[in-house]
Amino acid sequence: DAKTTQPNSMESNEEEPVHLPCNHSTISGTDYIHWYRQLPSQGPEYVIHGLTSNVNNRMASLAIAEDRKSSTLILHRATLRDAAVYYCILRDNDYKLSFGAGTTVTVRA
Amino acid sequence: DGGITQSPKYLFRKEGQNVTLSCEQNLNHDAMYWYRQDPGQGLRLIYYSQIVNDFQKGDIAEGYSVSREKKESFPLTVTSAQKNPTAFYLCASRSDRSNTGELFFGEGSRLTVL
């Protein structure tokens, strides 16, 4: 079963930032936080991951709470191509990787 | 180019027939996964395999079977015992040697049972 909780949906205007929260209160010390996104009728693609420190890459930023029980994916300037379902999952040494329902992001032009 | 290939992309079958979905990867990944996705829903784990000749049940394994005879291949059979097999099926693989440990997904196979 998924170990994370995300809101079902979020809306944003184009060119505005989007903050996607994820709660993972049962996270263990060795769990990495991974984010994926899925465009319609496609397989998910990797976005970003982190362990303790905040992370930035060309797609997004990941802010991790100090107690690691929550994190936030930040899309700095939403575009129409960012409309997708975003999944937050935990990865440790266990090979079993479970996804939840994710957050559906809608971007208004 | 390296990647994961799923086939067929679309498949129609009559109720009661077994169906096998193909998943091949040339990424030299050890771990492979099968997920099921229903309309408007998230991904649910069916089976996963850490290494050749070994696999484990995921969260919804009933009515499905897999094999892992080769590192590159992880076929999924949807048996007649699966009560509601119509869904979008996604295969993924992951490398233990990658810094990110990210999953790479195929484009999916959409199965419709008539």
Average pLDDT along chain B: 92
What is the SS3 assignment for B98? coil
How many whole angstroms separate alpha carbon B64 and alpha carbon A65? 39
pLDDT, residue A96, reads 79
Can you give the pLDDT of all 109 residues of chain A as single tens digits? Answer: 458 999 999 999 999 999 999 999 989 888 899 999 999 888 999 999 999 999 999 999 999 999 999 999 999 999 999 999 999 999 876 777 888 889 999 999 9
pLDDT (tens digit per residue) in B20-73: 999 999 999 999 999 999 988 889 999 999 999 999 999 999 999 999 999 999
Please answer yes or no on whether B102 and A46 come within 8 Å at the CB atom: yes
The closest alpha carbon to A33, from A104, A88, A101, belongs to A88
What band does B102 get if pLDDT is binned at 50, 70 and 90? confident
CA angle, residues A87, A4, A11, in degrees to nearest 5: 45
* Amino acid making up residue B72: E
pLDDT, residue B97, reads 72
How many whole angstroms separate alpha carbon A65 and alpha carbon B16? 50
Q: Which of residues 46-105 of A touch B (CB under 8 A)?
A: 46, 49, 85, 87, 91, 95-102
Q: Which of residues 1-40 of B touch A (CB under 8 A)?
A: 31, 33, 35
How many whole angstroms separate alpha carbon A64 and alpha carbon B45? 26
How many whole angstroms separate alpha carbon A2 and alpha carbon A28? 14
> Is A35's Cβ below 8 Å from some Cβ in B?
no
A chain contacts of residue B43, beta-carbon cutoff 8 Å: 44, 87, 99
B chain contacts of residue A44, beta-carbon cutoff 8 Å: 43, 90, 103, 105
The closest alpha carbon to A71, from A93, A81, A92, A86, belongs to A86
What is the SS3 assignment for A80? helix
- A2, A43, A49: residue with CB nearest B105: A43
Q: Cβ distance A20 to A73 under 8 Å?
A: yes
Structure-token pair, residue B90: 């996604």
What band does B1 get if pLDDT is binned at 50, 70 and 90? low
Q: What is the mean pLDDT of residues B6-17?
A: 93
pLDDT, residue A52, reads 93
Please answer yes or no on whether A45 and B105 come within 8 Å at the CB atom: yes
Location of structure tokens 């509601």? B84
pLDDT, residue B27, reads 93
Omega before B8 cis (within 30°)? Answer: yes
Between the alpha carbon of residue B4 and those of residues B62, B100, B103, the distances in Å are 25, 18, 11
Location of structure tokens 């696999």? B55
How many whole angstroms separate alpha carbon A50 and alpha carbon A34? 7
pLDDT, residue B7, reads 96
B51: phi then psi, degrees, rounded to nearest 5:
-160, 165
A53-67, B55-69, B77-91, B98-112: least confidently modelled range: B98-112
